Structure 1
Amino acid sequence: MDARLDYFAHPAAGRALKHFMAAGKALKESALPAATQELVALRVSQINGCAACVDMHAKEAAAAGETAVRLALVAVWREATVFTEAERAALELAERGTRVADAADGVGDDVWARAARHYDEDQLTALVVLVSFMNAVNRLNVITRQPAGDYVAGRFH
């Protein structure tokens, strides 16, 4: 499968996207735990059907020591016992933030309260920005049909 478009090859869009991707790298330095960041990025990408991002974040998480069991169970985290309460709250916020049109209240106060019990404001800010960032990157990749499978861990991190 070939991508429809190499958006980095086009001068104006490429420059804009390089700045956009720099914002993603800045998130790595946030107070939100690295494991949580990868789990959230993976789950958002699964929901959006972004093969390139699923490939990237599964490999990055594995390279950082995440277990195969936890990676396999991210898609069904509600029924899995391998995630902490904090991770479950982050995954719930990520899902609701990705599927905002599916609920009358978007991301409800109950979802926010569960996340706020586990993360301080700096971490919550990073979580919200991460969910928003991943949704944008997923859309870029899905629209242009970026292929998956060739990503090498550490390439962009």
Structure 2
Amino acid sequence: MDTRLDLFTNPVLTKFIKHLNSAARVATTVGVPLTTLELVELRVSQINGCAYCVDMHSKDLAHHGETSVRINLVATWREATVYTEAERAALALAEAGTRIADAAGGVPDDVWLNATKHYNEEQLGALVAAVAGINTWNRLNVITQQPAGDYVPGQWG
């Protein structure tokens, strides 16, 4: 697969990405565990078929000490016993927030209410921001056909 546009040399996209990266950092500042945010980003990337982000987030999770079992089972988290109730709530919110066209009215109330049992208002904001941000990254990578497999953990900071 050939890349259609280089995200890091296209003048418009480099400006956009600079702001996107700044916005994404906000989600890491309010107490949602990094592992939870990475699991959310991995799951959303799987749903969207973004190979670049699946590669990145699975490698970042491993780099931060996450087990291969939890990384590999995130696509089937509902049937897996290796996630906490808080992680399950975050993953459910991530899936519903990614598949908003599939449910009339967007994210179902029961999914949102379950998330509120595990996260405070700032943390919910961080999860919403993380879901919105990774959906944006997925679209950038899929539209421009960014290749996967070469990501090295830590290369982006």
Q: Same fold (TM over 0.5)?
A: yes
Give structure 1 regions of 4+ aligned residues with deviation exceeding 4 angstroms: none
2:46 maps to a residue whose letter is Q
Question: Which residue matches 1:52?
Answer: 52
Q: Give TM-score, length-normalised by structure 2.
A: 0.95
Gaps of 5+ in 1: none
Q: How far apart are the structure 1 equivalents of 2:108 and 2:125?
A: 16
Would you say how many aligned residue pairs link Structure 1 and Structure 2? 157
Q: Give TM-score, length-normalised by structure 1.
A: 0.95
The change in CA–CA distance for 1:118 and 1:138 in structure 2 (over 3 A counts) is same
Q: How far apart are the structure 2 equivalents of 1:133 and 1:28?
A: 12
Q: How far apart are the structure 2 equivalents of 1:30 and 1:3?
A: 36
Question: Which residue matches 1:85?
Answer: 85
3-state secondary structure, aligned to 1:9? coil
Question: Which residue matches 1:103?
Answer: 103
Once the two structures are superposed, what CA deviation does each residue of 1:2-44 show, in whole Å capped at 9, x if it has no partner? 3111022122331222121222233333321101000000000
Find out whether 1:115 has 2:112 as its counterpart: no
Q: How far apart are the structure 2 equivalents of 1:4 and 1:13?
A: 13
1:133 maps to a residue whose letter is G
Query: Does the aligned pair in 2 maintain the 1:45–1:51 contact within 8 Å?
Result: yes
Question: Which residue matches 2:131?
Answer: 131
Query: Does the aligned pair in 2 maintain the 1:8–1:15 contact within 8 Å?
Result: no
* Identity between Structure 1 and Structure 2 (%): 61
The change in CA–CA distance for 1:75 and 1:84 in structure 2 (over 3 A counts) is same
3-state secondary structure, aligned to 1:14? helix
Question: Which residue matches 1:21?
Answer: 21
Q: Compare 79-88 and 26-35 and name the one that shifted more.
A: 26-35
Q: How far apart are the structure 2 equivalents of 1:30 and 1:93?
A: 17
Question: Which residue matches 2:153?
Answer: 153
3-state secondary structure, aligned to 1:118? coil
Question: Which residue matches 2:43?
Answer: 43
Gaps of 5+ in 2: none
1:64 maps to a residue whose letter is H
Q: How far apart are the structure 1 equivalents of 2:43 and 2:37?
A: 10
Q: How far apart are the structure 1 equivalents of 2:142 and 2:30?
A: 27
Q: Compare 30-39 and 63-72 and name the one that shifted more.
A: 30-39
Question: Which residue matches 2:5?
Answer: 5
